[in-house]
A and B are shown apart, each in its own frame.
Chain A
Amino acid sequence: MRRYSLLVPALFLLPAIGVLFFLQFFAWGWNINLVLHDVTLMNFLREWEFVGLENFRTVLTDARTVTSLQNTAIFAFSSISLQMIIGTAISYLLYRAVPKVERFFRPIVILPWLCSVLIAAFGWQLLLSKDIGLLNTIITGLGFARVDFFGGSTTAMISIVLANTWWGTPFTILLMGSGMTSISPQLIEASKVDGASEWIFFTRVALPIILPFILINLILVTVWTINMFGLILAMTGGGPLNATRVFPLHGYLAAFDSGNFSYGATVTVFSVMINIVLIYIYVKIADVELV
């Protein structure tokens, strides 16, 4: 038995951990390689010219980088605020509902989370479309002119925030659910006896109890929102005129649209650094249990 003590765990771990760490951490190492060279769609599989830190200068002096960071700030701030407020509220409402009501509403509110980004993108594109949208049908029905949501920069940003909020809020609802269970039913009874209104109970009693859960939720949602680009790629492609070109999409489009892989890799370096800081904070605050 004794001499197998290392071989057996290695055998069990290697397939999954090997695949996972290759796709995650080895890829980061490979990414450095791309950053230090000039790699484009043209010389992709041939010799790469070493350029040192030149790519950092290119990315940092590009006006589109600044635009994309601004877009990320607007997109992330609006999405995260909406998602946290609505998600916490709905989670609380589900917690306060009787079991029969809760069982009816839970699958409905969780539904968007089970949908892929493409369903979210197509669904909202068609709801907001100028040619076929339900919203424009209502707008014209009220006597106003049709709105081209994806034609204007502000309305396009609103559209992607709306779609992302729809898609991401169920996650907050799910995660806050476990926070809600730490509010003991006796507290509700006690506040009812005291004659406190629902609002007073929520803000004075419930909120302080679930605050740690909100904090943890906030970090996770922030990580996912600032990295999110699939939905935006499918809905607007970053347009109109880069109005929805968020930071990670900026890197993606540089690599796969303009063929400049080193540029995309350099954007990835910045993203990875931001993410590591956020995850470090998460692991510390959430006090993640290591096996």
Chain B
Amino acid sequence: MSEKATRITLLVAYSIFSLLPIYWLTSLSFQQEISFPPKPVPTNPTISHYVGLLTESGIPIAILNSIFVGLSVGFISVVISSMAGYAFSKLEFPGKKIIFLGVIMTFLLPPQLNIVPLYSLFAEMNLLNNRLGMIFLYQILVLPLNIFLFLNYFDTIKEAIVESAIIDGAGPIRRYYKIFIPLSKPAIIAAFIFGFRFSWAEYVFATTFIRSESKMLFTAALKRAVHAGQYTINYDYMAVGAILLFIPTLIVLIYGQKYLQIGLQLGGVD
């Protein structure tokens, strides 16, 4: 086998590994009967498991809760991270380096690290079992990345534009919303996508911080629906739920890749 053929074979092998879980979730979600041995490809595909999960009590409201939380996290993080990114990029102030180091640390540290003290703090502040509390909490998932994103994006905006605005007498606040924000559409879209993507399917905080049914987020409600029976696992709900969680990811992969790539490059991840 030529070296080129070997390279392609290895890429194909890894691609199969990469796609296998998603393929299997999709296949199972459409199978008539969930029993052993399952059919590798579903015969007579059915949407009955989808109907089943979506009509399960608590699931529709949980999906709406998760969409609401995801959109809010995206929106708020765009507003406040663009402001912070602007300050780091265009303003001078004492302690800039040390504050920035703090942001880097928060970016590198996994968010779930603090789950025990955060749970206790949220209990003290009456923010447990609270969707607004989750919107606040989820900022930690996405703010550091979005701050880097805006910081790097603003750095690329040409000084000449800013200087003409200074001559026109615009102060730093006016420059922010009259010049920088209107020029930042790709960064805003990327930051919004990150905000939604990181909170929409978050699992650990969602299952720990919200316990009452009407306020549950989708991941927590799904976990509960899967383990509804005491000794049985609803495998069909697992497959269907994972596919539903996956849909926004798929949309991002198809339509948002351009923005995602810009975001990743600017966020310094790539």
Which A positions have Cβ atoms within 8 angstroms of B?
1, 4-6, 8-13, 15-17, 19-21, 23-28, 30-31, 34, 39, 44-45, 86, 89-90, 93-94, 96-97, 101, 105, 107-109, 111-112, 114-127, 129-134, 136-137, 140-141, 146, 166, 170, 174-175, 177-178, 197-198, 220, 223-224, 227-230, 233-234, 248, 251-252, 255-256, 261, 264-265, 267-268, 271-272, 275, 279, 282-283, 288, 290-291
Contacts and interface: CB of A to CB of B under 8 A. Distances in A.
A196 to B, nearest CB: 11
B112 A248 contact: yes
B139 A125 contact: no
B251 to A, nearest CB: 11
B38 interface: yes
B132 interface: no
Contact of A45 (B118, B124, B222): B124
A34 B116 CA distance: 9
B52 interface: no
B247 to A, nearest CB: 11
B105 to A, nearest CB: 6
B38 A291 contact: no
Contact of A118 (B105, B219, B270): B219
B242 A122 contact: yes
Interface centre among B101, B137, B204 (most CB of A within 10 A): B204
Interface stretch (B22-30, B42-50, B53-61): B22-30
A31 B114 contact: yes
A269 to B, nearest CB: 10
B140 interface: yes
Contact of A105 (B11, B144, B176): B11
Given A5-B92, A198-B3, 6 more contacts: A8-B173, A28-B117, A45-B124, A122-B241, A123-B22, A126-B21
A137 B40 contact: yes
Interface of B: 3, 6-8, 10-11, 14-15, 17-22, 24-25, 28, 34-38, 40, 79-81, 83-84, 86-89, 91-94, 96-97, 99-106, 108-110, 112-121, 123-124, 136-137, 139-140, 143-144, 147, 151, 171-173, 176, 197, 200-204, 208, 219, 222-223, 233, 235, 238-239, 241-242, 245-246, 249, 252-253, 257, 264, 269-270
14 contacts: A12-B83, A12-B86, A21-B106, A107-B257, A119-B25, A126-B239, A132-B235, A136-B37, A140-B37, A255-B116, A255-B119, A264-B116, A268-B116, A275-B113
Nearest to B205: A230
Determine which residue in B102, B109, B117 has the highest number of CB atoms from chain A within 10 A of its CB, and name it.
B117
Contact of B103 (A4, A17, A111): A17
B252 to A, nearest CB: 7
A1 B144 CA distance: 30
Contacts of B197: 114
Nearest to A111: B18
A87 to B, nearest CB: 10
B91 A8 contact: yes
Given A12-B84, A16-B143, A24-B105, A108 B18 contact: yes
B14 A90 contact: yes
Nearest to B6: A198
Most chain A CB within 10 A, of B15, B113, B242, is at B113
Contacts of B96: 291
A22 B104 CA distance: 15
A150 to B, nearest CB: 11
Interface centre among A93, A120, A140 (most CB of B within 10 A): A93
Contact of A24 (B93, B116, B140): B140
B203 A234 contact: yes
